[in-house]
Structures are given as structure tokens and as C-alpha cells.
Structure 1
Amino acid sequence: MIRHKSPYNRKRNVAALAAAVALGTTFARGADEAVSFELENATMEDVQKAMDAGALTSVELSLLYLNRIEAYDKTGLTLNTVPAINPRLIAEAAHADRLRANGVKLGPLQGIPFTAKGSFNFAGLPNTDGITVWSDLFPSESCFVIQKLQDAGAVFLGHANLDAFQASTAQANSQVWGLARNPYNPEFRTGGSSGGSGAATGGNLSFFSLGGETGGSVRSPSDRGGIVGIKTSNALISVRGLAPLAWDRDVVGPMARHAKDTAHIMDAATVEDSQDIWASVNVVPGRAKPTGYANKAATTTLAGKRFGVPLNMLGTSTGTVADEIRALFAKARVDMETAGATIVEVTVPPELDISFTGRRASVPASVVIAPTRKLYSPANVDTTGNMVGTSRGYPFKTFLEAILATPEDTVDSLHDKVVARISPVTQLPQSSRDAIAAKTTVGPTSPDAVEHFEAVRYQVLDYEAFLAANNLDALIMPTAPVKTATGITLPPISRALVNSFSNPFVTVPMGNVNIPLGETTSSEPSTLGFLGRFWGDDEVLALAAAYEAITKHRVNSPLVPPLAGENFDYTIEEILPPSKPPVIETPVKAVLKGKGKKARLVFEGTVTHEAELRAVRVSIGGKRAPVSGEDKWKSVVPVSDLLKRINPRTRTVSMTVIARDTNGNTAAVIRKVRIPKLDRFLITKKN
């Protein structure tokens, strides 16, 4: 049989959703294998091993994350990183568990909860994009990349906080949800605009997350969260169903605590989408998209690799923080050389900056007039506000059309809806809103867009010629040469090479630095950055994984420690016979007994089961409650303990009941329970 320290030994369970599910798991992996599980350090492989052994289920794992969100995000530190929970979370988790129980294995993401930036469409939650005027913008269909991860078995936990209109690389301050806080110090910013994604992953409030980047919005929060984030090459992961910013640079960026996990996400996310805005764009003709991320991440070493340190991308900042980051980078160089890599210092030439106005070396002589970046004015800048309005407005139009369209719409009625929704978005320049209203937007097949990406092609080829001339596999640098409690500085020229030149960039922890806060300092992660080549995402991520494997510098935040039930041991002794999972019956209404200080609320229910019950656990209002009995269980709670947890408007309290049997089957019910009127019971009659 499978014996383990029960994962129900938790400080609290969060009853955030109204759902009831039952599931079964009856697996074993081999005889007498003792395993320790620690959620904050677990990889996807560790989770799958525990789930296959019947020591953990997706429902349990999802509840563990709801616990952490309740303890650290909603209360306690109030980090505010995951403000919107998927109302179908437990049902999705139960489905993943049922598939496993029936012998269906979908891969390393099966049953694992994840979040996505609040600009990603998810059916059932509004896509606010961090602005109040879209707080009621509900898509009927989830974005393509979330669907692909769900197809691979992942479970959507909810939306991560973001900066309003994805504007800042320093913070995630939503008009709708407020400011996200850093799990290493709540007084620090998270980086942005995908700050909720980075902080939730770094603080283990989500197993992994999806961010989005246009000019630094994956790199910055990945650095501050001390995680492995990848700003992907353009056109690699579909952006259909994402609120745009500047579409020629908008990309999806997976973020996880371990490089090999990020690789698994990439394997699931890099699926062709014929309806993606990038589908008709061919930046480098004849180049194949990479595959096999996880395999490369598991097998690549640093031995024989050659890396360039771009001296003019290291920054010139002085001071304690910059000095500490430089010291960590120097140590990283030594670690890589010890592992067999060669490190050389190089200088990035001026023609690899976006400001270069001459003819690029890679433009063939047969091309008389070199193409220019026609989507920007002037062409040698890459700031979002300089994108030509007719082009920048196009993806906003198509994004809103997909959400707002109904079968009854005509072309004109849908256009009117789109104009009504985009007009109050003052963060988008008037020129783009006017182009939408005037029906003059142009998409990726327009002559200007085609020429723009021809110019990008030669940017890419010039950069790759520079790497080849120096025989380099990648460039390495600190992701952020300097940062403060509220700000972060990315390397010079990196916006051009990473975003406008469409190249991938991976962050991986290289240690912690001390950042001043008033008269004190606080420790926060710093990451090493690997800059690769266009559509070489598999290679550069594998190099980052190889560095991580020999250093293991990630440090968990002591401010968000494990809660009860997140760490446990289990032992596999024999294969168990299949059996049906328990079935839980819960009350619709609590019964009140006693008066005054002796007033108690009584919650009663039943559990029917085939195998012997191991445990029944009850949480009420997010807090563990005492329970007696199993087949017929009862939980009695003083009214005074519940007053602050009862919803006064609906007069309900959330309740979670979990039952697990000795065969590893789990059943879970999350329900709102009605509470009787309490006033007359809380006042003792006068004699």
C-alpha cells in the first residue's frame, strides 16, 4: 500500500469556489521507494511522480495554491499577485485526476496549476488589461496559448496582476486590482508589466505563469522574482487572444522556478496557429521553428560552449547594489568556465543598435534600396508610442472584434461596438483610435508591414553574423545591472537586440543582492541573462538549464514559507487495486445551537466509500475546523470565530471538505453554506 504523511495536514484551506468534485488515483511506481516532497522546491517531474504514486492529486495541489493565495496574497503580506481565480479550477483539476486514474497520461504539465497575465483571454474572467474601462470585458473563448497548455493537462489557476495597459517594466499597478507586491519584500516593486506573473511564481503562489513582453516585461519581473523566464523569439508562440501593446514586438514569455520546467512549458506552448497575427510573417525564410525543448534542457552541458560578455551592455552604474550584481556575475563566469565553457569579452557594434541608420551588412547587393522599419516613425526608434497609428491600431481592432462579435452583428454594428470600447482607452494614442474609427488600420500583409519585417530580417542576420564572427553560442550578462526598491534598469542596447531584433532572452538565478530600503537593506534575487539567436530558443534555454544545474542559486523567500501540508513523505510498497473514490455530502445550511458566548454553528455531512477512509478534513471560512467522525462527520465552530469570515451580504461562509481513502482516492467539495440569522442568538436574555 501507499503510506505517506497526509497532505491534508494544512493550516488552512481556502473555499474560494463553489464546486463539488470527486476523483480517483490508484497508482504505484515500485517497491519500497521512500520519497520526500517539498512544494516550494518541486519540479514538474517531482509533482508527476507524487501524483502517479497516489500521494498527491491535482485537486489537492490546487487547494494548496489556494491556501497560499489566501495566506499571503489576500491576507498577511497582501501581495496581490493573483487577484482573479478561475471559477472552474477545481473541476479542471478533477478532470486531470480522472484522466490519470483511467490511465491517460498527458505529459509533465498534467494537473499542474498555472496563472497567466491579466491581458490573456480566459473564458470566465474579464480581460481587464489592467484598466478600469475593460473591467467588464469578458471573452467567450480562452486565448490560444492557454488552450494549448490545458490540452497538455495544465490547470488554469487564475489571472496574475499586471501594470495598467502593460505600461511599466518597473511595477504591476493595475487600475482594477491595485499594486502587486514583491514576495521578497512587500515594500519592493515586482518589476513589470508582468509583475504578478513573476511575483506569483517567485513566491510559489502559482506553479508557473505566462507573462508577456514588448520591451522588458518578462525579463524585469523574472529577475525580481528569481525565476527562469524566457522572452521568446517573435512569432514563436501565438499571441491570439492577448490584449496587444505593440504587435511587432509582443510575445508570450513562460516563467517557472526551474529551467527544465520552463522547457516543458515551451514544448506545450509552441504550437502553430493559422489565425495568429504572426502567421503570415516570415522573418527569416527557410528557418524551422525549434522543437524538443525539454530534451535539450535535460542533456545540454556547458562543456565546449563559448559565451561573449558584451562590455557595452553591462552598464556603468556605481554603488553597492551594482557592485554586488557585478560580483555575482563575476562568480557566474568562473562557475561556467569551471564547467568547461569559454568566456570572452566583446563589444556590440553600433550597427546592432536600433538607432543605426546606415545600410546593414547582410542586405544583399541585389537589393538596391534597403528596407526600413516602416511600422515606426522615425524608423530608427523602437518606443511603443512611435509605432504608426494605422498599424498599431490593427490588433486592438481584431482583439476586440473577437470578444464582442455575436451572430446577430453586421459589419457596421460590430465596428460600432469596437469603437465604443476603444475610444475611452486613452493610453492608446489618438492616432490609433482614429484609425480604428476610420477603418484605416493595416495588418501584417500590408506593404509597410512586409517591408518592416524585411528590415527586421537584416537586423537579425547582422546580429547572427556578429555571433559567428566571434564564434559565440550566446551572450551573457546580468539581466539587470542595477535596481532599487522601486526601479530596475535593463542592459543598454538590450531593448534593441532582445525586442526589436526579435531574439530570445532567458533569466536564471545567480544569487541574491542587498537592496537599500530606508536605513536598512533587504535581500532579493539577481539573475544571469542568456541572449540567444532568433528561433534558437531551445538552445539558449538549454544553456540556461545547464548553468542552473551546476549552480542551483535560487533562494526561496523566507517571507512566504511553506504552509502545513506542502511538505510530506510517502513510501510506495505495492500496487493497489482500483476502487471508486469517496462521495461527500455536505450541508446546504448550518445549524446554530446555544446562545451568547456559547453559540455554536454545526456543520454535518456524510462520506460513502469503498476503501477504508484515511482522513476527513474540513475548513470553514479558509481556516481548519475540528471534525469528528468520518462516515458521518460533524464540525462544530464557535460563532465568535466565524463572524469575520461570514459574507454579510449573502449570509454564507465558504466550506471545504476533503476525504481520502487508503487507496489514494480523493474527493473534494467546495461550497458556500448558508448561515442562519445570528443577532438574537448572540445576545443573552436578561434575567
Structure 2
Amino acid sequence: MRMLVLAALVVATAACDRVSMPNLSFEDPANKAKAAAPAGDDFAFAEMDIASLQARMARGELTSRALTQAYLDRIAAIDDAGPKLNAVLELNPLALQEAETRDAERRAGRVRGPLHGIPVLLKDNIDATPMANSAGTLALANHQPKADAFLVGRLRAAGAVVLGKTNLSEWANFRSSRSTSGWSSRGGLTRNPYVLDRNACGSSSGTGVAIAASLAAVGVGTETDGSIICPSAVNGLVGVKPTVGLVSRSGIIPISRTQDTAGPMARSVADAAALLSVLVGRDERDPVTADSSGRAVFDYEARLRPDALRGARLGVVRQAMGYHAATDAAMERAIAAMRRAGAEVVDVIVPTWGQWDAAESLVLLHEFKAGVEHYLASSGAPVSTLAHVIDYNQRHSQATMPHFGQELLEQARATNSLGDPVYLSARSDARRLARTEGLEATLAAHGLDALIAPATSPAWRTDLAQGDRFLGAGYSLAAVAGTPSVTVPMGDVKGLPVGVIFMGPAWSEPRLLGLAYSFEQATRARKAPRFVASIGADPAPLPAAIPAPVELPSAATPSDDRPR
């Protein structure tokens, strides 16, 4: 969730507890399908969107079981073998069974909605039975929640197939000020599929990489400050960070009750909108969702218009620029495209830009301790307090802390309760500076529909000595304000994707998604990953072509259904 803009050490080794990948392939060399995809890639469903998959299933040309099997084969060939992206942490052993159930429902004339039979990946801080939920830490590697998170229940009720869990920055990047985005002690290091020596950003790194590489149709990430937006931007995706309160957080390992939210990560705005429509909903276990009553939309896709930029008034936050020349150039091209599409674009200054940083840090330290200890105790986790987590890491330091420590956990343990006046003052200051006097004041002063900025610079080279190198991140304003933001691809820098972020007032997701969709349709900037080893290199060798899925009788079972 939390995107810490601080130096970190990168881990290049996989975690010791990762068990072998199940052999879920059903070979049929005579029936190989080809589709537009990365160089050397023969995957039949690469880059395919939800609407296309649904159309094929409606015509009887594809089943959910075949599609699920194809993604499982893809994960085995691309994620674990091939370029070894290390994005998927654990598979749902019941995924094929869930898909068969959806197929049976379709044959009976019951289609639950746009996600019916569509495989979805979840970040590994979201409860989803029968898989573990670990936040990437070995201390929770065997934690088996007894029930689904509220949003997972929403997905299953909508007919989605839960394919598995994705790797993430350990503790959602809230363990050390020197942590590396995309690394966890349970899952190792996730690599960027565009250029393999580049960082995948975090903390929703595994979800970002998996969806960019077509390991599933769509995925769910979580964010406290940048952890949907940044990995979406550097992996060429659309990422939606909703208004806090639009999507339930119950059943998600938390950092901050003030800033946490889950949200969609997808290859298109339409897919992100379809997924968001399912995720929203009021949950009695998360009281903040009561604020969404009368404000949530249950069909965001219906709000998408290709001409939404016409007549829109947008403000460019130049304070998020000037850090990376090529990113600035891409942003100028994006601005020009918006103007050609009919938008009025003006420069703005956010008067409180960055002034919320110190207050935000205090808020997160206090809220992390309270939130994570409540989650651990209520979910029956093998460790029940933050002190237990810290002690576990100390006792297993060779496996858990080979490259960086846990000073943020230790600082959080030292905080007082949420009744502490220091915390209460910091929470008020952070929200005032980011939301009232920052985003909302700037929108009102210039009569704007949204603010725009580069989401972040291109992915940096993963470097053991130097750690993470974030430049010009534009996402913190909306994160601390608790308001929505949407990033969409705006181009690339030497093959590395860059995104533009749209930010608006609370509950403005329909408007922001419409603007993002209009920009996406005008520019078509997304490109599939090429899996190159480094800038200027040829594409990395991919595995042999993946066979097209073969329908088997419903009694057939894979040879090994263990989670990995």
C-alpha cells in the first residue's frame, strides 16, 4: 500500500518457502493459437479485454475453464520459467472448479454480469479462501483466513474466478525506510516485464506485473500512498485509486484507516471500470463505506464516453514535473493530445504541495500499529501483535532481513493509542493540507474538473547498492486527501511505460474514468511488454509456444493442485 520514496536495497533471490509450481498443462501441440503479443509470444489471450472474452464465451467459442487453464499455463511458462517475473505467489487450488461452476451457470442461462467466468488475481494482503494471506512476510506464510474479504465475496458473487494471489512489497512497503519495491521475504523480487532489470514499483507490484504480462484478465491492488498508481504506471496499466470509503477494506491487512483502499488494475479503462463496479459496496464491517451511500455507481463502464475530454477544464500540476526530462516530454505530448480532444488545460500551483509529508508519516505509524494488531487478533493469525512480528523477524533474520531491517515496524510499535493528541493533530493536519487547502482549493480556484500530472518517472534500474529511485511522483496529493485518482498510459521512455494521473474531488470516479477513457481512446498509448533484459537489448527468450486450451471432461483433474 504505502509507496515509500526512500532508498532501498534490492533483493535478487527468491524466498525459500516458495513451493513448486503445479503442472496444470494439458498438451495438444497440434492446436496452437497465436495472437498479438510480445515478441516471440504465442499466447492466445494476450492483451484480450473482458468484453472480447465475454463475447467469445457467449458465442460458445470459449469456456471459463479453458480460459482459466490457459492463464494457469501462462503463469507456469512465463512467470516461473521464461523471464521469471515472480509475480504470482500462490494459486487457488479451486480455480478450475470455480470456472466449471461458472460454465454450468452459463449453460443454464445464468450469467451474473461482465465478470462472469473471468479470472482475477488478488494482491497477497487480501483474505481469499482457501489461500494464505501473508502481506509477503514469512511470519504469516501459513496464515489461512477462515473467510473471504468483503471485496472477494463481491467478486465471487459477480461470477469472477479467483485465480490466485500476487507478490507485493513486504508489509505493503511499510517495514523499512530502505526497503525495495516488489520484494518480500515470502515471495522474493518481482521484475518489470518491459525491461527485466527495472523495478516493478510497489507495493502492488505483483498485480501490476501479472496483468501487464497477461497472466490474468484483471487484478486487484491496494494503496495507501501510490501503491496502485505507481505499479500501474510503470507496468503500462490503468490503475484506479478510489475515494476512501468506496471499496471495503475488511479482510485486508491494513496500514491506515485514513488512506487505505483497494482498487482495480487493468490493461484498459473499460476493464478497470467493469472491475470497480463489482468492488464497490457498503460493508457493515468497514463503517467508512457508509459514506458511499448514494455516491457509489454500480456500472462505471456505462459512464465512459470517448468525447469526455471535450469541454473539460484540467489543471497541470507542474510541481510534479521537472524531475525527469523524458517524462516531462511525454507529459507535454499528453497535454497536447488532451487539447486536440477539446480539453482546456491550464497550469496550476497546489499551495500546500508536499506540506503534508510529516503529518502523514505520524498518522501511518499510529494507524499501522492499531490496524494490523486488530487484523492479526481477529483473523486468528499465528502472530497476534506487532511485537510478535518484530520478534519473529529478529529470530529468523537471515531469511526475513537479508537486505534491510524493520525500523518502521519498530517505530510503529513505540506509538501510543489512537487517542494520542499527537496523532489526532497529525491526522487533522494531513487531511487539511492535502484535501481542503490542497486538492479541493486548487480545483475550486481555477474552476477545474480534474488535476493532471505525470504519475511517476519510468521504472528505475533495480540496484542492490542504491535502492529505489522515485522521481516526480504525482500521486501523494490524492492519496493523503483520500480522494480518487486514475492513471492511464501516456507513452514510453525507451520502452519503459509512463502514465498520466487524473485527480478529482471525493466520489468523482465516474468523471475521472471518463476523462481517462477519452484520453486512452485518443492516444492508444499502451504497448504490450517485450520482456527485454535491459534497455536496448533484444527480447528475452520466451518458452515454447503455449498450447491452446483443450476442453476436458469435467471429471478430469490436474496432476498436481498444490498452491505454490
TM-score (norm 1): 0.66
Residue 461 of structure 2 aligns with an amino acid whose one-letter code is A
Q: Shift in Å at residue 533 of structure 1?
A: 1.6
Matched, 1:309 2:316: yes
Q: Deviations over 1:184-225 (max 9, x none)?
A: 122221111111010001111121111111121111111111
What is the CA–CA distance in structure 1 between the aligned matches of 2:45 and 2:240, rounded to whole Å? 22
SS in 2 for 1:424: helix
Residue 156 of structure 2 aligns with an amino acid whose one-letter code is Q
Candidates 233, 256, 265, aligned match of 1:255:
265
- In structure 2, the residue matched to 1:538 is 510
* Contact 1:476–1:530, Cα closer than 8 Å, also in 2: yes
What is the CA–CA distance in structure 2 between the aligned matches of 1:493 and 1:553, rounded to whole Å? 19
What is the CA–CA distance in structure 2 between the aligned matches of 1:118 and 1:209, rounded to whole Å? 11
Residues 1:77 and 1:448: Cα distance change in structure 2 (over 3 Å): closer
- In structure 1, the residue matched to 2:133 is 127
Same amino acid, percent of matched pairs: 29
* Contact 2:360–2:430, Cα closer than 8 Å, also in 1: no
Q: Deviations over 1:288-336 (max 9, x none)?
A: 344531111246521111111112221x23xxxx332222222211211
Q: What does residue range 398-413 of structure 1 map to in structure 2 within 5 Å?
A: 398-404=374-380
Matched, 1:99 2:105: yes
Higher relative contact order (CA 8 A, sep 6+): 2
SS in 2 for 1:429: helix
- In structure 2, the residue matched to 1:512 is 492
SS in 2 for 1:248: coil
Residues 1:354 and 1:68: Cα distance change in structure 2 (over 3 Å): same
* Contact 1:354–1:382, Cα closer than 8 Å, also in 2: no
Matched, 1:424 2:402: no
SS in 2 for 1:278: helix
Matched, 1:137 2:120: no
Q: Shift in Å at residue 452 of structure 1?
A: 3.8
Matched, 1:207 2:179: no
Residues 1:476 and 1:419: Cα distance change in structure 2 (over 3 Å): closer
- In structure 2, the residue matched to 1:382 is 360
Candidates 344, 347, 350, aligned match of 2:346:
344
**Structure 2 gap segments, 5+ residues each:** 1-20, 27-42, 394-405, 463-467, 532-541
Q: Shift in Å at residue 490 of structure 1?
A: 5.1
Q: Shift in Å at residue 551 of structure 1?
A: 1.3
- In structure 2, the residue matched to 1:190 is 200
* Contact 1:220–1:490, Cα closer than 8 Å, also in 2: no
Residue 171 of structure 2 aligns with an amino acid whose one-letter code is F
Matched, 1:503 2:470: no
Equivalenced residue count is 491
What is the CA–CA distance in structure 1 between the aligned matches of 2:558 and 2:368, rounded to whole Å? 45
What is the CA–CA distance in structure 2 between the aligned matches of 1:277 and 1:310, rounded to whole Å? 33
- Name whichever structure is richer in helix by fraction: 2
What is the CA–CA distance in structure 1 between the aligned matches of 2:222 and 2:347, rounded to whole Å? 31
- In structure 2, the residue matched to 1:484 is 460
Q: Shift in Å at residue 532 of structure 1?
A: 1.6
- In structure 1, the residue matched to 2:40 is none
- In structure 2, the residue matched to 1:372 is none
Q: Deviations over 1:227-279 (max 9, x none)?
A: 00112221221111111123321111210001011001111001111111535
Residues 1:562 and 1:110: Cα distance change in structure 2 (over 3 Å): farther
Q: What does residue range 601-680 of structure 1 map to in structure 2 within 5 Å?
A: 658-659=551-552, 667=554, 669-672=556-559
SS in 2 for 1:382: helix
What is the CA–CA distance in structure 1 between the aligned matches of 2:512 and 2:264, rounded to whole Å? 14
What is the CA–CA distance in structure 1 between the aligned matches of 2:256 and 2:392, rounded to whole Å? 15
Specify the structure having the higher radius of gyration (Cα). Answer: 1
Candidates 458, 461, 465, aligned match of 2:436:
461
Q: Shift in Å at residue 153 of structure 1?
A: 0.8
* Contact 1:290–1:535, Cα closer than 8 Å, also in 2: no
* Contact 1:260–1:298, Cα closer than 8 Å, also in 2: no
Q: Deviations over 1:418-447 (max 9, x none)?
A: 578545366453465467xxxx74489x99
What is the CA–CA distance in structure 2 between the aligned matches of 1:274 and 1:128, rounded to whole Å? 24
Q: Indicate the RMSD between aligned Cα atoms, in angstroms.
A: 3.2
Q: Shift in Å at residue 417 of structure 1?
A: 4.9
**Structure 1 gap segments, 5+ residues each:** 1-13, 20-36, 356-378, 406-413, 515-522, 567-615, 618-657, 660-665, 674-687
What is the CA–CA distance in structure 2 between the aligned matches of 1:339 and 1:239, rounded to whole Å? 37
* Contact 1:246–1:392, Cα closer than 8 Å, also in 2: yes
Residue 525 of structure 1 aligns with an amino acid whose one-letter code is P
* Contact 1:59–1:668, Cα closer than 8 Å, also in 2: no
What is the CA–CA distance in structure 2 between the aligned matches of 1:354 and 1:335, rounded to whole Å? 32
- In structure 1, the residue matched to 2:337 is 335
Which range moves more in the overlay, 261-270 or 166-175? 166-175
* Contact 2:359–2:427, Cα closer than 8 Å, also in 1: no
Q: Shift in Å at residue 182 of structure 1?
A: 1.2
Matched, 1:553 2:525: yes
What is the CA–CA distance in structure 2 between the aligned matches of 1:77 and 1:388, rounded to whole Å? 36
Q: What does residue range 94-243 of structure 1 map to in structure 2 within 5 Å?
A: 94-167=100-173, 171-243=181-253
What is the CA–CA distance in structure 2 between the aligned matches of 1:509 and 1:241, rounded to whole Å? 31
Matched, 1:83 2:86: no
What is the CA–CA distance in structure 1 between the aligned matches of 2:386 and 2:351, rounded to whole Å? 44
* Contact 1:115–1:160, Cα closer than 8 Å, also in 2: yes
SS in 2 for 1:672: coil
What is the CA–CA distance in structure 2 between the aligned matches of 1:388 and 1:154, rounded to whole Å? 33
SS in 1 for 2:88: coil
What is the CA–CA distance in structure 2 between the aligned matches of 1:170 and 1:326, rounded to whole Å? 25
Matched, 1:48 2:54: yes
* Contact 1:18–1:670, Cα closer than 8 Å, also in 2: no
